[in-house]
Structure 1
Amino acid sequence: MTRTITFNELRRIKDNLPSGSMSKIASELNLSDETVRNYFGGHNFQEGKSCGIHLEPGPDGGLVMLDDTTILDCALRIIDEHMELAHSHH
């Protein structure tokens, strides 16, 4: 599934990930940590694979077109699980 979100939204998702999530996503999806980081960073495409991301300049950091939302879906699930854990301890 392709999806378009703003660069800032992608950044917010990255910032909400609990520490260690990049490695967790990488091992779960059998990718390198670098590839997962690039997916959220949008800047080091030379280092790892770019995962089919296209940046369009625009407001809110520009638009990011994701050819594959697998990493994003995984990240969102981790954030959800993390939030549930945080709330269940109160």
Structure 2
Amino acid sequence: MTKTITFNELRNIKDRLPEGSMRKISKELNLNVETVRNYFGGVNYREGKSIGVHVEQGPNGGIVELDDTTILECAFRILDEA
């Protein structure tokens, strides 16, 4: 499922996650932790991958189109549990 969100909204979600959430998501989805960080705006492509995140410059950090919302859904679930 594709979702469009502003970059600032995506970073806000990441910033609200409890410590250890990136590792929790990476373990649950069997992904490299740097890949999960890259999903939320990180840029460590030597250790992690880019997975379906497309950024277009604009207000509020620009528009981000997410090809797959699985990581975002995990983040929302963690926020709901916190």
The two structures share one fold, judged by TM-score above 0.5: yes
TM-score range, shorter chain: over 0.9
Alignment match, 2:45:
46
Q: Deviations over 1:13-50 (max 9, x none)?
A: 00000000000000000001000000002x41633211
Q: Match of 1:38, as an amino acid?
A: N
Please give the residue correspondences for 1:2-13 in structure 2 after superposition, counting only pairs within 5 Å.
2-13=2-13
Which residue is 2:79 aligned to?
79
SS at match of 1:60: helix
Q: Distance in 1 between matches of 2:45 and 2:40?
A: 14
TM-score by length of 1: 0.86
Question: Highest Rg: 1 or 2?
Answer: 1
State the shift of 1:2 in Å.
0.4
Q: Secondary structure at the match of 2:36?
A: helix
Runs of 4+ in 1 over 3 A off after TM superposition: none
Q: Secondary structure at the match of 1:64?
A: strand
Give the count of matched residue pairs.
Answer: 81
Q: Output the amino acid matched with 2:29.
A: L
The gaps in structure 1 that reach 5 residues or longer are 83-90
TM-score between both structures, scaled by the size of structure 2: 0.94
Identity across the alignment (%): 69
| CA distance in structure 1 between the aligned counterparts of 2:68 and 2:58, rounded to whole angstroms | 21
- Aligned position for 2:55: 55
> Any stretches of 5+ residues in structure 2 without a counterpart?
none
The CA RMSD over aligned residues, in Å, is 1.0
